[in-house]
Amino acid sequence: MKHLGVVIVLGGLLCVAALTLSRVCEPQELAVYDWLMRTRPSSPTHPDIVIIEISDDTLKSLGRWPLPRQFHITLIKALTESGARMIVFDALFSEPQGIDAEFASAIKESGRVYLASAFRIKPGGLNSDRTYEADEILGAVSEPLKSAAAGIGQVNIFVDGDGKARRVPLWVRHGNRLWPSLGFLAAVECLGYSQEKIIWRSDKVIFNDNKSIPIEPKGVLWVNYPGQWVNTFRHFSYVDVLKAYVAGKSGAQPWLDMSVFKDKICFVGLTAAGTSDLRATPLDTIYPMVGAQASICDSILREAFIKRISPWVKVLLHSAILLFALMICLKCAPLAALIGCGALALGYSAAGWLIFSYRGILPDMFLPLIVVGIVYVVILFRNFFNEARKRQLLEKELEIASAIQRSFLPPDASYAYGVEIRAMLEPAKFVAGDFYDIIALEGSRLGVFIGDVCGKGVSAALIMAQAISFLRVVSQQSLCPAEVLKLLNTRLEGILNGRFVTGQYIVIDAKEGIWEGACAGHPPLILLDSAKDLPEEFLPASGPPLGITGTASYAAVKRRLKAGDKIFMYTDGWTEGRNRKGEEFGVRRLKEALFSLRNESVPVIMSSIAARRSAFEGNAPQHDDLTAILVEFKGTQDK
């Protein structure tokens, strides 16, 4: 079993490793990532990044998209004269127009304009150098503009299965040329780093000796959106910038101070409703993709990246979670294990939220929590089935013990030596501490014993077996009940170790018509005298219970029997039985029931008295063993 447990644990660790490395829970992990993005504290964006929106008001004023390039020429002049550091167009200028020469001239004169291109990435197009291979240009920059621009970047973005844009390829290869992401290009140029000196590693891109960007093994960068669209970056309307510039040139007082663009990185992009450059993100259902490029530039300038934990580190972390959850579930009771696993899951979630919010480190959250839940459920069912199996084994053992115990009891004796006898024993558990015996003695004598071992269950049944064995020996040594109890007490006193047995023993001489009895701490028997109208308690205890002290002695009581007399011997389970109200059946009810049945036969009395007790207790549980013997004297006769 120990080796089997080791195999199961190793199997669990292998399953966790396989699930982690195969990313089968990636959709759920992305959903948790979205929650982390929404709940983390907001962070300020880089102050030098602004967005100029080609929004609904611009299209309403200047016409439908694409806008005439004369407006772009004016915008470039306005921003250049205002001292903008960079002008980054997140818009495709792939189709030539008649004004392109003038447009190219404005771009070249500015010397700070960056343009966008787009590619169709081949399926499975990841190269060994973690660039993506493109087989088609979807939006190339027209030739006059290409040579005039300060730089050209690609605006490809990966859209996940749920329709959200979370990651971008840093580099796309088309032919022999590499095209960097537009936001990445803007940041690198702003920082003054040379693209030719960039070094690729498996998990990062190094600019120089002390600055790098974390990437995934597949060469993608997580877009660290700083917040919702309306709450992040400074936004300006494209048409408002043009109007302010024209007003300033005409000598009028513009409402927009164009100096706000001094030394700024100005991202220009389409944001109008219903246009094609809108995507869902973790923070917004509709988000202009110019904001994604601005967010890439912002995260590089602020060195605020989202860094996913490496796969093998995740394997180690998830394995530790599995082992910790196993330790909790194996060492604790189910409720404590539930609380412990809940605390483990909550602690892991809190730690994951903290390191993501303040360090940008993205752990897997869904899979570890599922692992904790599965471990708890599996161990719970394991414990349940183990307990069920143990219970089945115990029940079988108790059935065997019960059968062995019944073998110690005498066979049913309906009529013997001039008396009719019925006995019953109903254990509170599988085995009882109550017992009785009917012993044939010399002549026409018959010994009847009833006893009650302190306690219930298997231990009481073992004492009962010893007591019956001793009784059958000492009952042959003397015909006096008091002497028999004394001998039995002597034998039991050395083995009970603080426990005791109450007992009552009578010897019936059918030939002489007398009975003699003695009692050791047991309830008195109930005598139904055929000549009297009331039952009476008889034979009270004349000494302590058996096994307490070896010096105990007992007194015998002798009484004559008449035909029709009945003797009812019982254990205290009869009188101490309770109903749902907490009421005891008691001696009074027992005597009344016996008296009302005094003229019935012995079998009828026994079955009826048991039925009345059962009706009184109702569905209340039986707390003690029930044993009773009913003896009816039929009259003197020879054996």
Q: Is residue 639 part of a domain?
A: no
Nearest CA to 82 out of 219, 254, 203 is that of 254
Cβ atoms of 585 and 570 closer than 8 Å: no
Q: Please tell me whether residues 484 and 516 are part of one structural domain.
A: yes
139, pLDDT greater than 80: yes
How many C-beta neighbours within 10 Å does residue 235 have?
A: 14
Nearest CA to 20 out of 362, 356, 367 is that of 367
Q: What is the pLDDT at residue 371?
A: 94
Q: Is residue 429 part of a domain?
A: yes
| pLDDT-based confidence at residue 56 (cuts at 50, 70, 90) | very high
What does the pLDDT average to over 15-27?
Answer: 90
Domain boundary among 248, 273, 303: 303
For 322, 339, 340, the CA distances from 347, given in Å and listed in that order, are 14, 12, 10
The secondary structure element, H or E, covering residue 383 is: helix 366-408
Number of domains in the chain: 3
Cβ atoms of 144 and 101 closer than 8 Å: yes
Q: Please tell me whether residues 395 and 479 are part of one structural domain.
A: no
Distance CA 608, CA 610 (A): 5
Q: Please tell me whether residues 423 and 539 are part of one structural domain.
A: yes
For 397-411, the pLDDT digits (tens) are 666 666 666 666 676
Q: What is the pLDDT at residue 55?
A: 95
Q: Is residue 50 part of a domain?
A: yes
What does the pLDDT average to over 383-390?
Answer: 86
Helices (H), 434-580: 457-474, 481-493
Q: Please tell me whether residues 564 and 615 are part of one structural domain.
A: yes
Instruction: State the pairing for strand pair 151-154/132-139.
Output: unpaired
For 34-46, the pLDDT digits (tens) are 999 999 998 899 9
Owning domain of residue 32: 1-36+312-408
What does the pLDDT average to over 328-339?
Answer: 91
Those residues whose C-beta lies under 8 Å from the C-beta of residue 451, and which sit 6 or more positions away, are: 434, 435, 436, 464, 467, 501, 502, 503, 504, 522, 546, 571
Q: Is residue 554 part of a domain?
A: yes
Q: What is the pLDDT at residue 400?
A: 65
Q: Is residue 638 part of a domain?
A: no
| pLDDT-based confidence at residue 625 (cuts at 50, 70, 90) | confident
Q: Please tell me whether residues 116 and 12 are part of one structural domain.
A: no
Q: What is the pLDDT at residue 184?
A: 93
pTM of the complete model: 0.69
For 229-262, the pLDDT digits (tens) are 999 999 999 999 999 999 988 878 888 889 999 9
Q: Please tell me whether residues 251 and 373 are part of one structural domain.
A: no
- The lowest-confidence range among 28-32, 35-39, 173-177, 431-435 is 431-435
What does the pLDDT average to over 586-614?
Answer: 91
Distance CA 615, CA 256 (A): 95
Q: What is the pLDDT at residue 3?
A: 65
| pLDDT-based confidence at residue 202 (cuts at 50, 70, 90) | low
What does the pLDDT average to over 626-630?
Answer: 92
464, pLDDT greater than 60: yes
| pLDDT-based confidence at residue 198 (cuts at 50, 70, 90) | confident
Cβ atoms of 632 and 564 closer than 8 Å: yes
- The lowest-confidence range among 7-16, 78-87, 324-333, 373-382 is 7-16
The mean pLDDT of the chain is: 89
488, pLDDT greater than 50: yes
Q: Please tell me whether residues 331 and 452 are part of one structural domain.
A: no
Q: Please tell me whether residues 132 and 155 are part of one structural domain.
A: yes
Q: Is residue 13 part of a domain?
A: yes
| pLDDT-based confidence at residue 639 (cuts at 50, 70, 90) | very low
Domain boundary among 373, 408, 443: 408
Q: Please tell me whether residues 200 and 291 are part of one structural domain.
A: yes
Q: Is residue 251 part of a domain?
A: yes
Q: Is residue 41 part of a domain?
A: no
Q: What is the pLDDT at residue 499?
A: 86
80, pLDDT greater than 60: yes
- The lowest-confidence range among 284-293, 413-422, 433-442 is 413-422
Q: Please tell me whether residues 146 and 240 are part of one structural domain.
A: yes
| pLDDT-based confidence at residue 163 (cuts at 50, 70, 90) | very high
Cβ atoms of 110 and 76 closer than 8 Å: yes
Residue type, 125: G
Q: What is the pLDDT at residue 402?
A: 62
Partner residues linked to 438 by β-bridges: 448
Q: Please tell me whether residues 505 and 573 are part of one structural domain.
A: yes
If you search the block for the tokens 């409720």, which residue do you land on?
335
What does the pLDDT average to over 178-194?
Answer: 90
| pLDDT-based confidence at residue 119 (cuts at 50, 70, 90) | very high
Nearest CA to 452 out of 505, 394, 388 is that of 505
**Domain at 545, CATH number:** 3.60.40.10
What does the pLDDT average to over 211-223?
Answer: 85
| pLDDT-based confidence at residue 289 (cuts at 50, 70, 90) | very high
Distance CA 602, CA 631 (A): 8
Q: Please tell me whether residues 606 and 624 are part of one structural domain.
A: yes
- The lowest-confidence range among 106-115, 230-239, 354-363, 427-436 is 427-436
Distance CA 568, CA 611 (A): 16
* Cα angle for residues 629, 631, 634 (degrees, 5° grid): 165
What does the pLDDT average to over 486-499?
Answer: 87
Domain boundary among 245, 269, 303: 303
For 524-571, the pLDDT digits (tens) are 999 998 888 888 898 888 889 999 888 899 999 999 988 889 999 999
What does the pLDDT average to over 104-111?
Answer: 95
